Amino acid sequence: MFIQTVLGSIPPASVEATLIHEHIVFDLTPVRQDTDSRLYDDASLFSELEQLKLNKCNTIVEVSNQGMGRNVHALRRIAAQHQLHIIAATGYYKQEYYPVEVFQWSEEALSNRMIADISEGIEGSGIRAGIIAEIGSSYKQITAHEQKVFCAAARAQVMTGAPLSTHCEIGTMGSEQLRLLLKCGVKPESISFGHQDLNSDVSEQQWLLDSGAYIQFDTIGKCGYRSDEERMNQLITLLELGYENQLMLSCDLTRQSHLLSQGGHGYVHLFQSFIPSLKQRGATDSCIDKMLIHNPRRFLIFKSEPAVL
C-alpha cells in the first residue's frame, strides 16, 4: 500500500494532518479575467506553509489539473523545501475551464492521458500524479462534455487504483456523479465528493456516505458562500449520525485575497479557528484525528498498482 506524492511514493503512516482539497500554485485568470485568481510560489506562500507545519499539518492534496495552471515542478520544489507531502492531480475541472483537447479527444484518449500522468509522470516530468481530481460538474447539471470527462476519469481510476476526488459546484450533483461513477465501475471507497459543506441536504449526504464514499467539507473559511457556523452545525449532525470515518476537511484557497498576507483567512484557518470551535462544540480529539489524518490516509492509498500503457 502506498500514497503517491510529487517526491515519490510514501507509506500511509507518513501522512499526518492533511488538507484534502487545496491549490498552492495555479492560475484561473484566463477564464476569470482577474488578477486575484492566481497563486504563486513566493514569500507569502512560504510563510503560509510554515504556519501549517507549526500546526502539525504535513500533507496537502493539490487538486489543480490540466487547464488550471498546474505546475508540478513548482510543487516538487515546494515539497522538498518545506518537507511536506504534496500530492499532485491529473484530470480536468469543469467545462468552463476545459483546455481544447477535452472537446477534441475521445474518452479513451482523455483517460490514457490521466493514466500516463499517474503511471509515468505529468507532461514528461517524471512527477507522478497521486490523485484524479478535481473532476467537476457545473451548477445543477453534468454537461455532455463533463460526462465524457467523468467516464474517462473513471476508466483511469479503475486502471490505476488512484483515489478520485470530485468538484460539486456549490455542493450540487453529488448523487448524479456517484451514479455515473458507479456505472463506470468505480468502487465508492475510491471516491470523495467535494464541496459538500455547500450542500445543505443532509439526506443526500447520507445517501453518498451510505454507499461507502467519502465527502469533503473543504471550503471552510469561505463565508461568502456559507458561514462556518452553518458548516459546523451540519458537520456535527453528520458526526452524530456516525459518519466520522468518511469525512475530510480543507479550505480550498483559490485567490490571492484568501491569503493571510492579503488579509484573508489563509490555509491555517482550519487549524487555528475551525477546529478549536469544533472542539468547543464537543468534537473529540479522536474524531478530529479521523477527519484530518486517518480518513485521508485511507482514501489516498492506491488500491492497485498503476498500469503502464
Q: Which three cell numbers stand for residue 150?
A: 467523468
Closest listed residue to residue 161, CA positions, set 305, 20, 8: 305
The answer to whether 164 and 87 are in contact (CB under 8 A) is: no
In this predicted structure, the answer to whether residue 305 has a pLDDT above a threshold of 80 is: no
Q: What pLDDT, on the 0 to 100 scale, is given for residue 18? A: 98
Q: What pLDDT, on the 0 to 100 scale, is given for residue 306? A: 59
What would the mean pLDDT of 134-156 be, rounded to a whole number?
98
**3-300 CATH choice from 3.40.50.11540, 1.10.3470.10, 3.20.20.140, 3.40.50.720:** 3.20.20.140
Closest listed residue to residue 255, CA positions, set 56, 59, 39, 71: 39
- The whole-angstrom distance between residue 6's C-alpha and the CA centroid of its chain comes to 15
Residue 27 φ then ψ, to 5°: -155, 110
Q: What pLDDT, on the 0 to 100 scale, is given for residue 86? A: 98
Mean pLDDT of all residues in the chain? 96
Beta strand pairing call for 131-137 and 191-193: unpaired
Which residue bears the cell 462534455?
145
Q: 208 falls in which pLDDT band (50, 70, 90)?
A: very high
Q: What pLDDT, on the 0 to 100 scale, is given for residue 303? A: 79
pTM, to two decimals: 0.96
Distance CA 174, CA 118 (A): 25
Q: What pLDDT, on the 0 to 100 scale, is given for residue 102? A: 98
Q: 307 falls in which pLDDT band (50, 70, 90)?
A: low
Point out which residues pair with 193 in neighbouring strands: 166, 215
In this predicted structure, the answer to whether residue 2 has a pLDDT above a threshold of 60 is: yes
- The per-residue pLDDT for range 219-275, each reduced to its tens digit, is 999 999 999 999 999 999 999 999 999 999 999 999 999 999 999 999 999 999 999
Q: What percent of the chain has pLDDT over 70?
A: 98
Q: 4 falls in which pLDDT band (50, 70, 90)?
A: very high
- The per-residue pLDDT for range 45-102, each reduced to its tens digit, is 999 999 999 999 999 999 999 999 999 999 999 999 999 999 999 999 999 999 999 9
Helix axis angle, 144-160 relative to 107-119, nearest 10°?
40
- The whole-angstrom distance between residue 236's C-alpha and the CA centroid of its chain comes to 21
Q: What pLDDT, on the 0 to 100 scale, is given for residue 44? A: 84
